[in-house]
Structure 1
Amino acid sequence: MGFPWAILSCASTVYAAGAGTCCSRLSEELGTKVSFLSQPAYNGTESSYWSLQEAGLKPGCILHPSTPKDVSQAVSIIAATDGCNMAVKGQGHAPGAGFANIDGGVTIDMAGLNTTVLSPDRSVLGVGAGAAWLQVYQYLDPYNVSVAGGRNGLVGVGGLTLGGGISHFSPRVGWACDNVVNFEVVLADGTLANANQNSHSDLYRALKGGANNFGLVTRFDLETFPQGDISVSTFVNNVSKRGPVLSAFTDIISSPKFDVSVSLLVSFLYNSKSKAWTISNSAVYTQPVLHPPVFDQLAAVPSISNTSRITSVASLADEAPTSPLNWLFATAAFKPSAEFMLETFEILNNILYSFNPQGGVVWDIAFEPLPSVMLSHAAKTGGNVLGLQSDEGNSYIMLISALWLDSASNTAVEEVSREVLSVIESRAKAEGLLRKFQYINYAAPYQAPLASYGAENFEFLKRVSRKYDPQAFFQHRVPGGFKLVEQSQQELGVSNEEN
């Protein structure tokens, strides 16, 4: 029984030595842009993560680049140093441990690459990959234009866009990635390239949903559109009103003439300490129309509170940061059915009600539209790899979130989330309501969102990876996130089980 441990010990020693050499070389080339344990810049990055799981990892050093050239140099050095792995952090909003940080390797904190530049005709915004969406909206609002970006302003531009990206404006203009006209990207050999419809068009398409499997994006050039103030209504309901709330939600998302100004989020919140459920609805209308008729049915449901206002995009996105907690995401997509949504609540209540780990846990189960009109915009920039077709009809996405303080409960919370998701998906599949698609920005580490894009898109992603990264640097040396090689193995496992 000692043999595997000996291998692990040996591997750890080699890995640590490689990382130390790598950090030394980075420091020689990039000077004070490299920080080490206990230095202020290092501590600043470590304290900026959204989840405790990410903040708990300790890289050997952290690089704080200020130019794309810095990133290019760093990737070249890391790739040339055996035993040195890296992670890439934008705003650090992914909850999974290792998605944007690393133990013992090099974390590249992209926050310094946050420049926003609007073209003279205001049609394209160039934005550094380390920017947060709030910075983008604050920059654009005075020009009365906007871009398809994150709804929470604290989310980073890079992670959201490379995962597809749902925006308040998505029904009108598509996924965030559908509005990228050019990616500036550092490849595995350190080359700085531009990927667009005319140059590296295959890489351009792969980056639209393919996450961090192909290169390190340093700048996104985003198509803008005219935009002024918007309307937002917030309704809070007693859980006893779940029937009419879910009926109103289903009627809105099922409409064959889905209103492209609608951005709707219906959330069921559960606190394991109080064993209490609450329904919170965020009904955004991306025009300055107070009380738009499309939300009348939802607004008519008796509520605990009901507020509406006209506001700017930046003001709406300016959310208060949460205290550092442990977080978990998991997701699935379904065809519309109010009856099935009620079944979903019963499943959630039956499983979650008796689960109360030390320190408690808060669950947030959110539902949001995935209308076919949103999917129709992909073709305008050469398509994406998400595998969704507009002729498949309207759907909705479910996000299961959990947040808790006591890290000793991490495994237990994950196990419960797996159980909940498994039961809901099994029931949906039996009723013909389950969609294969898993939104990668909401997916749990145990899910396989890249494979959910379909066999054709998945094979395309693997071909592009082999072409631009023949040594599989971003598959093996950038281990965080969802990797094509790992999901290939998962698919093989599923195939073997079926046979």
Structure 2
Amino acid sequence: MGRVFLLAAWLLACAVLHHGACAAATGPVSAIAGSQKIACKLLSLTHPDHTFFEGSDNYKYETQTQYWSSTAYNTPACVFVPQNAQQLSFAVTTLTLTSTKFAVRSGGHMPVQGYNSIGSSGVLLSNSNLSTLALSHDHATVSVGPAYRWRDVYSYLQPYNLTAVGGRVGHVGVAGLLLGGGISFHSSQYGFAADNVVAYEAVLSSGLIVVAKADNAYSDLYWALKGGGNSFAIVTRFDLRTVPFYDSLTNSPTVFENFTSLKTVADQYAFGALATYISAVDALQPNGLRQDFRVASFMVNREGLSTVHDTFFGDANSQLADIAGLTASITFQPVTKGFIENGRSRGGSNPQGVDANNAPYFWIVQNLSWQNAGDDDTVRAFAKATIAKIEGTITSHGVAGGYLYMNDAGDGQPVFQSYPSANLRRLKDIRTKYDPFRIYTNLLVGGWKVLDA
């Protein structure tokens, strides 16, 4: 089927362009100025009900409403919303043959400007209608399209007393979290969320639609997608292992006794469904603010923890006091040896290659939100300078963790450089194999690119 759509797009592009687009590519594809107009025309001619232009309600919905951070709002030449993998294949081929830049948006939670959106020089591919959501007959796996956010997955599985190893914030998209590895409430038991993916249905840059599994002809692609980002393929369906909703023997495990024994001012502890909890937490992170986050990691160390905490809040109080609507936080995410080892036993090796021998770690994320675009430069400069100071501190203490978690990283942070060198070389080889003309590097904008590391 993928070849049919590839041929159709090829012939259509040749008919419209009349200037040698049919010639065989001999090197990396680069964007052509003005080509977005041709691409939008082709998409609107073939799929008028799924191609949206500025001024329509659907265009506004796809370019603003669906994003978490207003820093990601943009004005693409048009928005194309495929209904299935075949239509996405057609779009990728059309954009390739017209040498048009494009962005892909799923959940829209990444706040880095231009990482999941694009301006008037390109086309936005929205995953809003790639909406597979189905539990297998034996309830062992659930198939999820990239249209969904984790709140949708948890709500769907709740009646079966099941859940999936997924995001901790409900409006985080399924695709972005999994392609970056994914930290979950269940990670200490099951590893990265990506360690629990059984199969990926994906569109290659050639337009071919494939299913990648650990034990089939695309096992190398399967490995790369478990934390390798967007350099390899556009995933149209994730098949995930399900897990029990709650499998402790007690309502209040003894591990929490040091906390539950404290005198409280207010106590909201309750035994309830993950979907319910996620819904309540989502209200604390509304859409539409301006957002920025940056990541660092270090081996658990009391002195290092205190220094990182004091550095962040000391600098925030002294430098950002006049920023309207500011919220500044730093989160210490514990990563245990069990997290790493249980993930490997469940899903095999992954590109991140985190060293279990130095665990436990704290993967920290500094999160900043504010109201006004006029404060962007000030807040982002603070974020970069402060994370650099934190990295210097943990390095001087000899406890630097090395690995940088992609899904919490900020613009320009060297994510892939923090992976083991052998894994990075393997990722680069796999990228070359599946995308020799660099469609998903040169034309697909945004994200951390393996080739650039």
Whether these two folds match at TM > 0.5 is yes
Shift in Å, 1:297: 2.2
- Counterpart-to-counterpart distance in 2, 1:324 and 1:189: 36
Paired residues of 1:150 and 1:166 also in contact (CA < 8 A)? yes
Alignment of 1:335-346 (within 5 A): 335-346=299-310
Paired residues of 2:190 and 2:196 also in contact (CA < 8 A)? yes
Q: Provide the alpha-carbon RMSD of the alignment.
A: 1.6
2:452 is equivalent to residue 473 of structure 1: no
Q: Residue 5 of structure 2 aligns with which residue?
A: none
Choose which of 89, 94, 114 in structure 2 pairs with 1:98. 114
Q: Residue 384 of structure 1 aligns with which residue?
A: 350
Shift in Å, 1:16: 5.1
- Counterpart-to-counterpart distance in 2, 1:157 and 1:18: 31
- Counterpart-to-counterpart distance in 1, 2:130 and 2:297: 34
Higher strand share: 1
2:450 is equivalent to residue 432 of structure 1: no
SS for the counterpart of 1:385 is coil
- Counterpart-to-counterpart distance in 2, 1:71 and 1:220: 16
- Counterpart-to-counterpart distance in 2, 1:449 and 1:204: 20
Q: Residue 332 of structure 2 aligns with which residue?
A: 367
Partner deviation per Cα, 1:194-252 (whole Å, 9 max, x = no partner):
11112211111000000111010000000112224xxxxxxxxxxxxxxxxxxxxxxxx
Paired residues of 1:54 and 1:96 also in contact (CA < 8 A)? yes
Partner deviation per Cα, 1:451-493 (whole Å, 9 max, x = no partner):
1112111111111110000001111111211112333xxxxxx
- Counterpart-to-counterpart distance in 1, 2:348 and 2:254: 35
Q: Residue 251 of structure 1 aligns with which residue?
A: none
Which moved further from structure 2: 150-159 or 387-396?
A: 387-396
Paired residues of 2:196 and 2:347 also in contact (CA < 8 A)? yes
Q: Which amino acid counterpart does residue 353 of structure 1 have in structure 2?
A: N
Shift in Å, 1:292: 2.6
Q: Which amino acid counterpart does residue 304 of structure 2 have in structure 1?
A: F
Shift in Å, 1:360: 4.5
Q: Name the CA shift for 1:74/1:308 in 2 (closer, same or farther; >3 Å).
A: same
Q: Which amino acid counterpart does residue 88 of structure 1 have in structure 2?
A: V
Q: Residue 277 of structure 2 aligns with which residue?
A: 316
Choose which of 233, 241, 244 in structure 2 pairs with 1:215. 233
Q: Residue 66 of structure 2 aligns with which residue?
A: 48
Q: Which amino acid counterpart does residue 229 of structure 2 have in structure 1?
A: A
Which moved further from structure 2: 462-471 or 22-31?
A: 22-31
Choose which of 330, 339, 343 in structure 1 pairs with 2:294. 330
- Counterpart-to-counterpart distance in 1, 2:83 and 2:255: 45
Q: Which amino acid counterpart does residue 238 of structure 2 have in structure 1?
A: F
Q: Name the CA shift for 1:25/1:357 in 2 (closer, same or farther; >3 Å).
A: farther
Structure 1 runs not aligned, ≥5 long: 1-13, 229-285, 488-499
Partner deviation per Cα, 1:274-328 (whole Å, 9 max, x = no partner):
xxxxxxxxxxxx7474443212223455654332001101111212250411100
Q: What is the aligned-residue identity percentage?
A: 30
Shift in Å, 1:382: 3.1
Q: Residue 16 of structure 2 aligns with which residue?
A: none
- Counterpart-to-counterpart distance in 1, 2:404 and 2:360: 15
Choose which of 44, 48, 51 in structure 2 pairs with 1:27. 44
SS for the counterpart of 2:34 is helix
- Counterpart-to-counterpart distance in 2, 1:28 and 1:119: 37
- Counterpart-to-counterpart distance in 2, 1:340 and 1:390: 19
- Counterpart-to-counterpart distance in 2, 1:114 and 1:348: 40
2:122 is equivalent to residue 158 of structure 1: no
> TM-score, length-normalised on structure 2?
0.88
- Counterpart-to-counterpart distance in 2, 1:145 and 1:62: 35
- Counterpart-to-counterpart distance in 2, 1:305 and 1:447: 39
Paired residues of 2:32 and 2:98 also in contact (CA < 8 A)? no
Q: Which has the higher contact order (CA 8 A, sep 6+)?
A: 2
Q: Residue 482 of structure 1 aligns with which residue?
A: 448
Paired residues of 1:357 and 1:409 also in contact (CA < 8 A)? no
Q: Residue 18 of structure 2 aligns with which residue?
A: none
- Counterpart-to-counterpart distance in 1, 2:325 and 2:156: 40
- Counterpart-to-counterpart distance in 2, 1:304 and 1:443: 35
Q: Residue 461 of structure 1 aligns with which residue?
A: 427
Q: Residue 8 of structure 1 aligns with which residue?
A: none
Q: Residue 238 of structure 1 aligns with which residue?
A: none
Choose which of 255, 259, 267 in structure 2 pairs with 1:306. 267
Paired residues of 1:372 and 1:391 also in contact (CA < 8 A)? yes
Partner deviation per Cα, 1:433-454 (whole Å, 9 max, x = no partner):
1111000000001201111112
Which moved further from structure 2: 208-217 or 143-152?
A: 143-152
Q: Residue 311 of structure 2 aligns with which residue?
A: 347
2:442 is equivalent to residue 442 of structure 1: no
Q: Which amino acid counterpart does residue 297 of structure 2 have in structure 1?
A: A
- Counterpart-to-counterpart distance in 2, 1:304 and 1:416: 34
Which moved further from structure 2: 315-324 or 139-148?
A: 315-324
Shift in Å, 1:192: 0.3
